[in-house]
Amino acid sequence: MKNNRILFIISITLLITSFGCGTLVGGRKYVGSIIVVNHSHASISVDGKQIGVGTAIESFPRKKPLSVLVKQEGCEAETKVFNNSFRTGSLIFSASLFGYAGIAVDLYTGASFKPDHKRDSAIQKISRKNYVFLIDYKSCPSDSEIEKLNLQEGGE
């Protein structure tokens, strides 16, 4: 009976210390909506995988910066990197609740990071787990510019 109680206490302790605050509250991933402004036909790729055209919604790991490649037929491809920032409050809270184990878990899973919406105006924070990333595809004419060109060519 005493061995079962000790095993139970050890199990609960390991369970509690195997999570960090950032992992529990923010998770190791977030949902990102990527919008290529005024380019509804631009292909959107992340990590070599096409995830949408014009707009894409996907789950991304917090651990690394988001690198997005946009490409539209007849235009140069462009890569936009959205950097991360450190979630200081999450790490402090994790340290106070779970100690070093919580800090280690949050750093390992990447839960201590978030898209840097305060320094990059192209990132909009919707909630702790949802962000919008706006891409200004400068090396390609916008939809309205293409439409004007098509009207001019058709009118001649």
Assigned token pair, 5: 């109680």
E strands, the chain, where?
A: 29-36, 43-46, 49-53, 55-61, 66-71, 78-82, 84-86, 113-115, 123-127, 130-135
Helix (H, G, I), strand (E, B) or coil at 21: helix
Q: Quick check: pTM over 0.85?
A: no
Rounded CA separation 101/57 (Å): 33
Cα 120–Cα 94–Cα 14 angle in degrees, nearest 5: 135
Cα 133 to its chain centre, rounded Å, is: 9
Q: 45: closest CA among 64, 81, 16, 69?
A: 69
User: What are the pLDDT tens digits along the chain (156 aa)?
Assistant: 677 788 777 766 655 555 544 445 456 788 999 999 999 999 999 999 999 999 999 999 988 999 999 999 989 999 999 999 876 666 666 656 666 666 667 666 767 778 888 999 999 999 989 999 999 999 888 877 767 666 666 654
Sketch the domain layout of the chain as residue ranges. Answer: 2-155
Assigned token pair, 93: 């809270």
Q: 55: closest CA among 75, 37, 79?
A: 37
